[in-house]
Structure 1
Amino acid sequence: MILTVTLNAALDVTYVVDELVPRTSHRVDSVHERAGGKGVNVARVLSALGWQTAVTGLCGGDTGDRLRAELRTAGPRDELVPVTGESRRTLTVVSRADGDATVFNQGGPAVTAGEWEAFTARYARLLGDADVAVLSGSLPPGLPVDVYAHLVTLAREAGVRTILDTSGSALRAGLAAGPDVVKPNADELLDLTGLRDLAAAAAAVRALGARDVVASHGPDGLHALTAQGTWRAAPPERLAGNPTGAGDACVAALAAGLATGAPWPAVLGEAVALSAAAVLRPTAGDFDADAYHRFRTAVSVEEVHAARSHP
């Protein structure tokens, strides 16, 4: 079983418009409303691929009730822990004209000490059945910045491998616990390290504690620095669509690869194919199945060898 953690679960609302133009009114072509947050999206993708998944995290209020009601139809098992605060909503506006997505994120409910204690007890119990734990997304108010480090440590003590997909101070603090894989995007990686070179930034993050680093680079694919080698993986073509769920689809493939023990080139090929197929769907947590199967044999995965110095 793959366990995903979404500490700041959300009700994701997506508007699709012909073209997003500032300071004008828009006619909305379609509206999608569903349970979200990065870990929920990861679990949706994994469930569609046939994996047994469970979603845990924190949610509450009327928004949390709507979130959980929709999640019941989605496939992953609901192991969310209730809080008294109101869960957040996100709003994504997708432009048909160019595929760009504009995202508005609320902060989320404050979490009390008692609610956090209830969550960690649930998390520790779920680790008993898990092969991989995916820790994704932002932290809600009231939680210390090092909570992901604590969750990584609990997973390691239970013999469960971990993927950490967050950013900023939460990522920096989490690295100290030694997660098996971290999956920032290129901007997050460069911001964290203060470096301008993606390969150097990945090496710096690995030195801070991550065993393996997979950095997503938008339409250019992935850069992976691992204990087994360094690779670049690129999609077979440039795609127009909604990129908001691509990173979560990538993490789903990484989690499946960790669970099966597949070699890194195969895992990265799956990750690029799945994330590219997710761009073609209007909502995060979905992917175009036909495109995914087509891309799987067309992704370019290239090993990168360190340059040799000459006397």
Structure 2
Amino acid sequence: MIITVTLNAAIDKSLSVPNFRLGRRHRTVEQRTAAGGKGVNIARALKTLGQPVIATGFAGGPTGTRIVDQLTEESILNDFVRIREESRTNTSVFDPTNGQQTEINERGPAVTDNEIQLFRDKLLYLARGADMVVIAGSLPRGVDPAIYASIIRELRKSAVLTLIDTDGEPLRHATRAEPDVISPNVLEAEELVGHEFNDDEDRLIAVGEMVEQGAREAIMTLEDGCVACLKVDGQLQRFRVSVPPREDVAGVGAGDAFLAGYVAARYSGKSPSDCLAYGVACGAESTNHLGAGIIEPGLVDRMLSQGEVDVRMLSAPAEVT
């Protein structure tokens, strides 16, 4: 069983608006509303990929009720802690004429110490039957940025594989807690290691630096794939995985789809290179859809069978050209 953790779950509105301009009135040509937050998006994709998954986290007020109801309608198993304050609503506007995307994310509810303890108890109970726990997304207001780190340490006692996808201080603390895998994007990784990257060589060095900071393995997602530092036969190896340029419908949630694909493949016992290839294919395919966590598994398999995903294992960053 795989558990996904979303402490700042949301209702996500995805709108397609041609020629979007600030200060003007527009009409959508396509729209979608769904339960969201990174962990929820990952759970949706894992369910589509046929993996056993339970989504948990916080859900509050009428919006929280909508989140739980929508997950139930999608047949995604869930067990959220109900909180007093209202869960957030996020809005994403995609302009199909130029490919630009604008996101407006609410900061989320405040959570009490008692509600946090209820969640900890629930997660540790669920983890008794789990093999992997994916912790993803931002924190609600007032929550200690070290909470993910403490959760990782508690889960390690149960020998559960932990994966983390967040940013800022929560990611910094979580990395020091030695999670099994961290998966930031480029901007999040730059903030974590403390400097900007100019090219693939810099990025390949950076995933090694993230491992030095505490993560057992590290993946950095890119627009065209990822770079990674993963264990192969007990030894850390660097990878560069890429796909050809694509004409996207929308890019929101591509990182969530990548991580879902990677987790699904790893849960199935695939090799590190196959896990990365499957994750990249899932992330690329998801950009054909408006809304996060939506994947067509058949098209993912087609991409892989047609050799659209290039995987290179590198003995050192200097091999990058």
Q: What residue in structure 2 maps to residue 224 of structure 1?
A: 228
Contact 1:280 1:288 in 2 (8 A): no
Residue 263 of structure 2 is aligned to residue 255 of structure 1: yes
Q: What residue in structure 1 maps to residue 303 of structure 2?
A: 295
* Alignment deviations for residues 87-135 of structure 1 (CA, whole Å, 9 cap, x no partner): 0010001112133321100011001011001100100000011111000
CA distance in 2, matches of 1:62, 1:125: 26
Amino acid across the alignment from 1:19: N
CA distance in 1, matches of 2:48, 2:221: 22
**How many pairs does the alignment contain?**
308
* Alignment deviations for residues 55-110 of structure 1 (CA, whole Å, 9 cap, x no partner): 00001011111111111112221111100000001000111213332110001100
For structure 1, the 5+ residue unaligned runs are none
Amino acid across the alignment from 2:248: A
Pick one of 203, 211, 218 that aligns with 2:208: 203
Pick one of 280, 301, 304 that aligns with 2:314: 304
TM-superposed CA distance for 1:6, in Å, is 0.1
Pick one of 205, 216, 220 that aligns with 1:215: 220
Question: When the two structures are superposed, what TM-score results if normalisation uses the length of structure 2?
Answer: 0.92
Q: What residue in structure 2 maps to residue 149 of structure 1?
A: 149
1:255-274 to structure 2, matched below 5 A, reads: 255-274=263-282
Amino acid across the alignment from 2:227: H
SS in 1 for 2:79: strand
For structure 2, the 5+ residue unaligned runs are none
* Moved >4 Å (runs of 4+): none
Which is worse superposed, 196-205 or 136-145? Answer: 196-205
TM-superposed CA distance for 1:141, in Å, is 1.1
1:10-159 to structure 2, matched below 5 A, reads: 10-159=10-159
Amino acid across the alignment from 2:315: H
TM-superposed CA distance for 1:200, in Å, is 2.4
Q: What residue in structure 2 maps to residue 194 of structure 1?
A: 194
Contact 1:98 1:241 in 2 (8 A): no
Contact 2:204 2:238 in 1 (8 A): no
Cα RMSD of the aligned pairs, angstroms, is 1.5
